[in-house]
Amino acid sequence: MLSLDQIRSRARQWLSPEFNEETREEVTEMLEKDEKKLVDAFYQDLEFGTGGLRGIMGAGTNRMNIYTLGMATQGLSNYLIKTFGDTGIRVAVAHDCRNNSRYFAETAADIFSANGFEVFLFEDLRPTPELSFAIRHYRCNSGVVITASHNPPEYNGYKAYWDDGGQVVPPHDKGVIDEVRKITSVSQIRFDSKKDKIKIIGKETDQLFLDEILKISINPEINRKHSETGIVFTPIHGTGGILVPDALRLYGFSNVHTVPEQDITDGNFPTVKSPNPEEPAALSMAIDKAKKIGAEIVMATDPDADRLGIALRNPQDEFILLNGNQTAVLLIHYILSQYKAKNKYKGNEYIIKTIVTTDLMDKIAESYNVKCYNVLTGFKYFAELIRELEGKEKYIGGGEESYGFLPGDYVRDKDAVASCALFAEMAAFAKENRKTLFDQLTDIYLEYGLYREKLINLVRKGAEGAGEIKAMMAGYRSNPPKVINNSPVVKMNDYSTLVSTNCLTGETGKIDLAKSDVVQFFLQDGSKISVRPSGTEPKIKFYFSVNAPLVSADRLEATEKMLDERISGIIADMKLA
């Protein structure tokens, strides 16, 4: 780590005229009054990783600001020129509702234009999936969206996309990173915008995007018949408010309500502790409204509208929250069953899930004779596979446990706008068949088995924490458990070596994926434990999946309790409690 004198020296470089007055004032104040803040702002560079940039906003090399963003954009520009030549390059730029997002988006657009690129800049905040759509529609070579997803208000970020509308993957991700690292001074950034190169886009692109969402509707006549289905939607102050209500109306739903306090675009997210639809508290205001007006479904999207949270009524008329696995299972089952009912299959269809997402999706796909591909965590791997199979096989849906789903291939990132519309259609379909969505989920469990999942995040901050996480992963590989919770470990997958080992016979096989720092243990009782360090935060993640047959609907609660106890036993045995 840098010494305090080295940190002060780095900070003083930001007092030069190359930096704007606001930045110089903030750095001066840190130098004079706040040593702790100074160290945190300058002790390292904000790293441009495979997912782009993400960090706390403010002045400094370890902060999200127009200079760290500028270096990333110039590095990306240089790589685009190296890859595609220096003429005819197009990029799209979008942003979410966060503080400074518009400023950062306009700065990125200025830099791209200064490099001679044609830039398609959205007029205002837009969902991340629409950025993916715009890249493809406008035949762009790349694109960026300014967002920090569902991080706290003090964060912002920058995600880079390639010409297929998916986030950058190998070999381009490493190529971009190498070029970004070559930008060592703000003097290398081309800030001199060429305004004639920047085209503002908006409503016309919205309509084209919505037209594609309408095409994935499978039962439009049922939507019209049950147009009064009660829905409460909240964008949690973010971009979902721009298009989700429009998508629901386009599908034929007229009884759509929002939460006025959360319709307000605000990067401070004043009504929630966290703008994360995975958190129950983020949906509490919407659920309260749904109770008052008698709505059947609650939907929420995160600030950039790529993840969705769902709440629905159980037989006791109480709202329960679905986890990401349950939402994905319901949507996949609806798509596959309706494709069969309407004779839409041509024999080359497939779905995608991640290796840490519920295996119930594999079972459902198998029952419909549809391929289910398992990929590494992250929707960029969905996009990569869709691109590889384009023209050979047909993608019809896929999702991950972390509340992301993509129901069509016109977008190459998770899409909460389309997923909300399709989820509402699924509710109308259940209604047509005199069922609720809770009934539908129970029916799936009765047919395929009840699956329960749980995620534990162990936070380990700083250099010491990073070392602890590394040691934990090394320990699982060098001395893997033989028995967990009284059930023998029958298989171990190590994605760092791409070796799958039968722990009973010692036989090994190859895993056909890219290398990743993930270990999985499969138990004799059908349980699965996946362990991986987070790629964006100082934590190590443990995913637990257990299952058992569900013999009757009235045994649902008891079977859930039994499986939850099994998960608790696994956690205790692994000393994670």
Whole-number Å distance between alpha carbons of 422 and 424: 5
pLDDT band at 467 (very low <50, low <70, confident <90, very high): confident
User: Can you give the pTM of this predicted structure?
Assistant: 0.95
Let me know if domain 44-201 sits in CATH 3.40.120.10: yes
Angle, to 10 degrees, between the axis of helix 416-432 and the axis of helix 324-341? 60
Instruction: Tell me the per-residue pLDDT of 359-391, one tens digit each, with 9 for 90 and over.
Output: 999 999 999 999 999 999 999 999 999 999 999
CATH topology of domain 450-573: TATA-Binding Protein (3.30.310)
Report which of 24, 110, 101, 124 is spatially closest to residue 73, judged by C-alpha positions: 110
Q: What is the mean pLDDT of the chain?
A: 96
Q: Where are the domains of the chain?
A: 44-201, 208-448, 450-573
Q: Which residues of 436-458 are buried (b: 16+ CB within 10 A; e: fewer)?
A: bbbebbbbbbbebbbbbbbbbeb
Phi first, then psi: what are they for 233, rounded to 5°?
Answer: -120, 140
Closest CA to 199 of 92, 313, 277, 63: 92
Q: List strand residue ranges (DSSP E) for 163-314, in order.
A: 198-201, 231-234, 256-258, 297-301, 308-313
Q: Give the whole-number percent of the chain exceeding pLDDT 70.
A: 100
Q: Which pLDDT value is given to residue 536?
A: 67
| pLDDT tier, 275 (very low <50, low <70, confident <90, very high otherwise) | very high
Record the tokens describing residue 404, joined without a space: 């992301």
Tell me how far apart the alpha carbons of residues 99 and 82 are, in angstroms, rounded to a whole number. Answer: 33
pLDDT, tens only, 131-151: 999 999 999 999 999 999 988
Q: How confident is the model over 63-94, as pLDDT tens digits?
A: 999 999 999 999 999 999 999 999 999 999 99
Q: How confident is the model at residue 358 (pLDDT cuts 50, 70, 90)?
A: very high
**Which run of H or E residues covers position 105?**
helix 101-114
Q: If pLDDT is split at 50, 70 and 90, which confidence band does 4 have?
A: very high
Domain 208-448 classified CATH 3.30.70.270? no
Among 101, 113, 132, 149, which one carries the catalytic annotation?
149
pLDDT value at position 392? 97
| Two tokens, residue 572 | 């205790």
149 catalytic residue (yes or no): yes
pLDDT of 167 above 90: yes
Helical residues (DSSP H) of 272-355, grouped into ranges:
284-293, 324-341
Question: pLDDT tens digit string along 242-262?
Answer: 999 999 999 999 999 999 999
Query: Could you check whether 44-201 and 208-448 share the same CATH topology?
Result: yes
- 243 vs 1, which has greater pLDDT? 243
